[in-house]
Amino acid sequence: MFVFENKNRKMIGAGAILSSFFSLIIIGMTIYHHLRIEELIMRVQNGQKVN
């Protein structure tokens, strides 16, 4: 029973780490995507060609 509880705690800890890691990736991608869009808008307003 004790070993099972210990494993369960480890799994919960790993799950928490994974979920926070994924949320960080999602936030980072969102910010990066937003910056790219703003950069594209600036280029279009400046009349440059967008690749």
Mapping DSSP onto H, E and C, the string for 2-46 reads HHHHHHHHHHHHHHHHHHHHHHHHHHHHHHHHHHHHHHHHHHHHH
Per-residue pLDDT at 19: 92
Q: Are 17 and 25 in contact (CB under 8 A)?
A: no
User: For residue range 1-51, what is the model confidence (pLDDT) as tens digits?
Assistant: 456 676 777 888 888 899 999 999 999 999 998 899 888 888 888 886 655
**What is the value of pTM for the model shown?**
0.51
